[in-house]
Structure 1
Amino acid sequence: MAVLASAALALGLGVAFTAGVRRIAIRLEYVAHPRADRWHRAPVATLGGVGIYAAFVATLLVVQPDAAAALPVVLMATVLFAMGFVDDLRPLTPYAKLVVQLLAAASVVASGTRLPWFDEASLNALVTIFWLVGITNAINLLDNIDGLAAGIAAIGSGFLVVNFFLSGQGEVAVIPAALAGAALGFLVFNFHPASIFMGDSGSMFLGFALAGTALLSEYGRSRNVSAVLFTPVLILMLPIFDTCLVAVTRRLSGRAITRGGRDHASHRLVALGVSERRAVLMLYGFALVCGTLAVAVRFVGAEMALLVIPAFGLVVLFLGLHLGTLAIYDQTDRVPPHSTILQALSDVHHKRRIFEVLLDVVLIALAYYASYLLRFDGRFPPEQFVIFVETVPLVIGVQLAAFLVTGMYRGLWRYVGLDDLVGIARSVGIGVACCAVPVFWLYGVGGMRGASRVVFVLDAILVFLFVGASRLSFRLLRSLIGRAVVAAPGRRPVLIYGAGDGGELLVRELMNNAHYGFAPVGFIDDDQRKVGKHLHGLPIYNRDGLRDVIQTLGVTEVVVSTAKVPESYVQQLRDEGVSLKRMRIVLE
C-alpha cells in the first residue's frame, strides 16, 4: 500500500510542482532557445528538474519509508540535483561536473553500497563508481527529445519496484515508486510537444537516483548469479544502448564524443521518417522489453540465462548497427581523425567480413550450447558439460571453415533472399556433418558419457535459424521501422494500382524510403483471385469499388505499378479526381 500511495502522491505533486515551476521559469525567462544541435524549434521553459526533485523529496517526507540503506543514494542524488541546478543557471565545465559526479559516487561506495559482481572488494568499488557515473551521464544524454528521459526513468523505476518486491524489500520499493511518480508527473508537461524541459538538474538527479537505487537489491547475492549481473543492466539497457551508440558513431565519424548533436537513437528513428511521438513510444517499448527480460532472468537458472542474455545482446547489437549506419552527419561537420586507434577502428568498421566471422563464432557457440540445453531439458549434466567444453573449439573451427569454403561470406545482408537462405542451409549442413564425425569418433555415441546424436541434429537446426536470422535482421528491422514510417503523420495516403511483381517492388521502395512522403494504404487489382487478400500487410481491393475505397481511405493519389493497365482504366482514375503517377524502370 505504501508503494502505491507514494507513487500516486509523487505523481500528483509532480504535476503540481512542474506546473508551478514552468510558470516561474517563463516569468523569469529561464527558457531554452532553439539551437542547431538541439531538437526543439521554439523557446521552452527549463528548470523542470526542480519539480521532479521537489515531488520526490516531498513524497519521502510524507511516507517516511524505513529504508536506511537508501539514505546515501538519496543524499548524493540531492548533491547531483544541486550541481545540475547551478549548471542550468550558469553552465559549468564538463570537468567540474565529472569531479562532482565522482565524489558523489565515491561517497555512496564508501557507505557500503556497491555492485557484488566480483570477489575483490576494490574491484567492486571501481565498477560501482563507473556504474553510477555512467548511468548518470547516460540519462543526461537521453534527454534529447520530448518525453524520452522522463518516460524511460519512470519505466526503469517501475521495474525496480517489481525487483524489490520479488526480493522481499517492500520498504525499499517506496524509493523507486516515488521516483516513477515524480517522473510521470513531469512527463505530463514534457511529452511531445513539450512545454518544459528538465535540464541538468532533472537528468542528473534521475540518473544518479536510478543507478544508485538499482544497487540496493539483495536478490542474487547468494542465490542466482545471473540476476546479480544482468538485472540492473537490463532494466537500464536503453540509456546504456543510446550512450554506446552515440559514443561509437561519433568516434568513428571523427566527432568529439562530448559534442552535442542530433545523432541519438531517437533522432535516427526520426531521420528514417518515424514521427517524434512514435519514435519515443518505440523506445518506451524497447525499455519495457528489457525490463520484462530483467524480471524473467530471476526465474531461470544460470544455464538458461547464459543463453538468453547473449542472444538478446545480439538483437540489441543488430539494432545498433542498423541505426548506426544511417547518414546523420553533415560531411562538412566531420572532424578528421588523427589518432591511429581511430583509424584502426574505422578500418575495422569498413571490413564487414571480419564482423561477420566474429558474429558467427558467437552464433555457432550459442547454438551448440542451446542444443545441449534442449537435449537435456534445460540442465547440463556434468559429463556432457565436459564434452561441450572440450569440443566447442572444434565445432566453431570446422563450421567456420565450411562457411568460408562454401562462399557464405559473399552475400549482402541488405538484400538477403530465398537463394541466400538455401546457401546458408547447405553451408550449415556441411559444417555440422564435418564436425559431428570427429566428435563421435573421440567420445563415442550414446549414453551420458558419449556424444549425443540429437545434439547435432538440434545444432544444425539452431545454427541455420541463428545465422539465417542474423542475415535477415537488416531486412526485418527495415520492414518494422518502415511500417512505423508509413504511419507517421504528414505522409500522403496512396493506392498502388497493380498487386503483381511491380506493385510488390513499389511498395517496398515507398516503405523503405521516407523521402517520397507516401503512405501506401492498399492495392487495386483487376484479378479477382487477389481481391480480399493482403500484400505486405496491405489489402487488395477490386477496381469496381474504386470510388468507395478512395473516399473511405481519403486517397488523393494513385501510383500505377504496371504498364499493362488499359488506358480506359487510367481515365477512370482521372475521373475520380485523383492524381496519377507511374512507376517506370528505364534501361538505357
Structure 2
Amino acid sequence: MTALFIRYRNLHENFSADTDFNSPQKFHSKAVPRIGGLAIFLSLLFAGVIRLLSDTYSATLLLFLLGCSFPAFCFGLMEDLTKNISPRMRLLACFGSAILASYFLGAILHSIDLPWVDPLLQYPVISLAVTCIMIAGLTNSYNIIDGFNGLACMVGIISLAAIAYVAFRSNDSTLLFVAVATIGAILGFFIWNYPRGLIFLGDGGAYLLGFSIGVLSVLLVVRNSAVSPWFAALINIYPIFETIFSIWRKKFIKKMSPGVPDGVHLHMLIYGRIARWVDPGNENALISDNARTSPFLWMFSSLAVFPATIWWQNTFALQALTLAFCIFYIYIYRSIVLFKKPRWLK
C-alpha cells in the first residue's frame, strides 16, 4: 500500500503532500506525501478481514479497534489533506475515540495500584474519565514525537513488541495477534519512511498508532490481572512524559499556549546539537541528519521498555523505573539545553 502511494504520488500530491518547510517542527526540504497512516489503516483492515477466516474473536477485536479509532484517524487524515483542522477539534476526536474504545472494547481501568486513587476509580464516571484522558493523551503524544524519519513508528513498534511479549506470557493470544498485526502494518510503512523519508505518517497515522497502543496497553491490564498497570505506563513513558514536559515548559517557562508548536522538543535538540555534530556538512552522507536523529530516541525509549518487559508483574519496580526515567529525561534535556551534553551521548 505504501509503495503504491509513493509510486503514484502524482495523482494525489496536490492535496496529500506536506509543503510546509518553515514551521519549527518541520525538518524536511521537499514536498512529501503525509498519508502513510492511510496505508497502515487499510492494511490492518485487510488483516482483520483475513483473520475472520481462522479466528473470529481476535478478528472482531482488531476490526472494532479500527472502528473506535476512526474519529481520531479521520480528523487527523483530514488535517493531512486540508491543513485546516484545529488542534482542539483533533483533540476532541481523540477523546471521542477513547470513549468508543471504553464502551465497545471494555478498555476502562479500575485500578492503577495507587491506594489514594483506586477507591475513586470504583466510580464508573471517574474511571471512564481517567481512562479516556490516558488514551487520548497517548494518542496526541505520538503526534508530538512524530518529527523525524522513523521516530514515532519505531517507538511504536518497540512498545507493541513489549505488549506482544507480555500477552504471550499471559496466554492472551487475541492481544498477541493484534499487536503483531499492527507491528507488521507499521513495518510496511517504516521501510519507506526510514531513512529516506519517502512518505510521512501524517497526523492520521500518528493518531492511529498512539490510539492503538494506548487501547492495547489498557486492555492488556484489564484482561490479565497479573499485569501491573504500571507496565502500561512505563512502556509508554517516553511519549507521555514528552507531552507533559512540553506542556509545562510552554505554559510556565515560555508563557505561551501549549498548543503552539515550537522547536525545542527533546528530539529537536538531539537533531540540532548531537545528530548534526556527528558528520557536519556532509551533503553526500548515506544517512541524513534527520534520519540519524531517530536511533538516539529509539534507544532512549528502549531504556524504559526493556526493563518493563522484565518486571511486568512488579508494581514497585515499575513505579521506581518510571520515576527514574522521568528524572533521566530532565537530566538529558537540561544537559543539551545548557550545551553540557554528556560525552557518552555523542
Q: Which has the larger radius of gyration?
A: 1
User: Is residue 2:103 matched to residue 1:110?
Assistant: yes
Is 1:240 equivalent to 2:240 in the alignment?
A: yes
Counterparts of residues 427-466 of structure 1 (less than 5 Å): none
Counterpart secondary structure, 2:198: coil
- Is the 1:245–1:324 contact (alpha carbons within 8 Å) kept by the matching residues of 2? no
Give secondary structure in 1 for the equivalent of 2:148: coil
Q: Is the 8 Å Cα contact of residues 34 and 201 (structure 2) preserved in structure 1?
A: yes
1:248 deviates by 2.3
1:88 to 80, 85, 88: 80
**Deviation sequence 1:533-560 (CA, Å, 0-9, x none):** xxxxxxxxxxxxxxxxxxxxxxxxxxxx
Amino acid at match of 1:99: L
1:260 equivalent in structure 2: 261
CA distance in 2, matches of 1:231, 1:70: 22
Q: What pairs with 1:48-63 in structure 2 (closer than 5 Å)? A: 48-63=36-51
Partner amino acid for 1:36? S
Partner of 2:94: 101
1:45 matched residue in structure 2: 33
Deviation at 1:219? 7.0
Query: Which residue of 66, 70, 74 maps to 1:78?
Result: 70
Give distance in 1, aligned partners of 2:170 and 2:207. 27
Contact 2:156 / 2:209 at 8 angstroms: preserved in 1?
yes
Distance 1:306 1:480, change over 3 A: same
8 Å CA contact 1:220, 1:228 repeated in 2: no
Task: Find the residue that maps to 1:216 and give its secondary structure.
Answer: helix
Corresponding residue of 1:32: 18
Give how far 1:59 is off: 1.4
CA displacement 1:92-114 (0-9 Å, x = unmatched): 12222222222221122223321
Corresponding residue for 1:208?
A: 211
Question: Shift in Å at residue 204 of structure 1?
Answer: 1.2
Please say if residues 133 and 208 of structure 1, whose CA atoms lie closer than 8 Å, have aligned partners that are also in contact.
yes
Q: Give, in whole Å, the separation in 2 of the partners of 1:267 and 1:85.
A: 24
When residues 216 and 266 of structure 1 are mapped into structure 2, their CA distance, relative to the original with a 3 A threshold, is same
Shift of 1:189: 1.3
Go from structure 1 to structure 2 and tell me whether the alpha carbon gap of 1:28 and 1:99 turns closer, same or farther (over 3 Å shift): same
> What amino acid sits opposite 1:73 in the alignment?
L
Aligned twin of 1:296: 310
CA spacing shift, 1:55–1:247, aligned 2, 3 Å: same
Q: Distance in 1 between matches of 2:3 and 2:239?
A: 27
Cα distance per residue 1:232-266 (max 9 Å; x no partner): 11111221122123222222122321112222211
Query: What letter matches 1:25 in structure 2?
Result: R
- TM-score, normalised relative to structure 1: 0.50
Letter in 2 for 1:86: M
Q: Tell me the secondary structure at the aligned position of residue 272 of structure 1.
A: helix
* SS of corresponding position for 1:217: helix
- Confirm or deny: 8 A CA contact 2:233 2:322 kept in the other structure: no
Find the counterpart in structure 2 of residue 22 from structure 1.
6
For 1:122, the equivalent position in structure 2 comes to 125
1:152 and 2:16 correspond: no
Determine if the alignment matches structure 1 residue 480 to structure 2 residue 344. yes
How far did 1:312 drift? 4.9
State the alpha-carbon separation in 2 of the partners of residues 250 and 162 from structure 1: 37
Instruction: Report the identity percentage.
Output: 19
Describe the shift of the 1:326–1:72 C-alpha distance in structure 2 as closer, same or farther (beyond 3 A).
same
The structural deviation recorded for 1:230 is 0.8
Mark the CA change 1:128 to 1:41 in structure 2 (over 3 Å): closer, same or farther. same
Structure 1: gaps spanning 5 or more residues: 1-16, 329-413, 415-474, 485-588
If the length of structure 2 is used for normalisation, what is the TM-score? 0.82
